[in-house]
Amino acid sequence: MKLYLDFEPCQECNAMMKDLSSPEMLFADEVTRSNESAKFLRHLTYNHNEIVQAVMEDLPKQKRDQEFDFFK
Protein backbone atom coordinates (compact mmCIF):
# COMPACT_ATOMS: atom_id res chain seq x y z
CA MET A 1 0.00 0.00 0.00
CA LYS A 2 1.34 3.40 -0.94
CA LEU A 3 -0.29 6.39 0.60
CA TYR A 4 1.17 9.85 0.21
CA LEU A 5 -0.85 12.23 2.25
CA ASP A 6 -0.21 15.62 3.66
CA PHE A 7 -1.54 15.50 7.19
CA GLU A 8 -0.61 15.61 10.83
CA PRO A 9 -0.38 12.01 12.01
CA CYS A 10 -1.52 11.47 15.59
CA GLN A 11 0.34 9.20 17.98
CA GLU A 12 -1.73 6.22 16.90
CA CYS A 13 -0.97 6.94 13.24
CA ASN A 14 2.73 7.13 13.94
CA ALA A 15 2.63 3.83 15.79
CA MET A 16 0.74 2.11 12.98
CA MET A 17 2.93 3.56 10.25
CA LYS A 18 5.96 2.40 12.16
CA ASP A 19 4.43 -1.07 12.47
CA LEU A 20 3.58 -1.15 8.77
CA SER A 21 7.12 -0.33 7.73
CA SER A 22 8.81 -2.52 10.32
CA PRO A 23 10.92 -5.46 9.09
CA GLU A 24 8.52 -7.85 10.83
CA MET A 25 5.67 -6.51 8.76
CA LEU A 26 7.62 -6.42 5.50
CA PHE A 27 8.25 -10.13 5.85
CA ALA A 28 4.81 -10.94 7.18
CA ASP A 29 2.31 -12.82 5.02
CA GLU A 30 -0.25 -11.11 2.78
CA VAL A 31 -3.13 -11.55 5.20
CA THR A 32 -1.29 -10.01 8.12
CA ARG A 33 -0.15 -7.11 6.00
CA SER A 34 -3.53 -6.37 4.54
CA ASN A 35 -5.08 -6.62 8.00
CA GLU A 36 -2.66 -4.03 9.30
CA SER A 37 -3.30 -1.76 6.31
CA ALA A 38 -7.03 -2.10 6.79
CA LYS A 39 -6.65 -1.24 10.45
CA PHE A 40 -4.77 1.90 9.55
CA LEU A 41 -7.31 2.92 6.91
CA ARG A 42 -10.11 2.35 9.40
CA HIS A 43 -8.34 4.57 11.87
CA LEU A 44 -7.98 7.27 9.20
CA THR A 45 -11.64 7.00 8.30
CA TYR A 46 -12.83 7.44 11.86
CA ASN A 47 -10.21 9.81 13.24
CA HIS A 48 -8.96 11.83 10.30
CA ASN A 49 -12.01 12.44 8.22
CA GLU A 50 -10.35 15.38 6.45
CA ILE A 51 -7.90 12.96 4.80
CA VAL A 52 -10.63 10.71 3.49
CA GLN A 53 -12.37 13.79 2.14
CA ALA A 54 -9.18 15.00 0.47
CA VAL A 55 -8.62 11.60 -1.15
CA MET A 56 -12.20 11.50 -2.41
CA GLU A 57 -11.87 14.99 -3.88
CA ASP A 58 -8.58 14.07 -5.50
CA LEU A 59 -9.80 10.86 -7.16
CA PRO A 60 -12.04 12.27 -9.91
CA LYS A 61 -9.35 14.80 -10.78
CA GLN A 62 -6.78 12.05 -11.24
CA LYS A 63 -9.22 10.10 -13.37
CA ARG A 64 -9.78 13.11 -15.60
CA ASP A 65 -6.04 13.58 -16.01
CA GLN A 66 -5.65 9.96 -17.04
CA GLU A 67 -8.46 10.19 -19.55
CA PHE A 68 -6.97 13.35 -20.94
CA ASP A 69 -3.65 11.55 -21.48
CA PHE A 70 -5.47 8.70 -23.11
CA PHE A 71 -7.15 10.88 -25.71
CA LYS A 72 -4.12 12.97 -26.55
Contact residues for Zn ion, defined by CB under 5 A: 10, 12-13, 47
| Shortest separation between residue 10's beta carbon and Zn ion, angstroms | 4
Number of Cβ within 10 Å of residue 60's Cβ equals: 9
| Residue 4 near residue 51 (C-beta atoms within 8 A) | no
Nearest CB to Zn ion, comparing residues 15 and 59 = 15
Distance between CA atoms of 38 and 16, rounded to whole angstroms?
11
Nearest CB to Zn ion, comparing residues 13 and 25 = 13
Nearest CB to Zn ion, comparing residues 14 and 66 = 14
| Shortest separation between residue 71's beta carbon and Zn ion, angstroms | 39
| Shortest separation between residue 15's beta carbon and Zn ion, angstroms | 9
Q: What is the DSSP string of 20-45?
A: HTSHHHHTS-HHHHHHHHHHHHHHHH
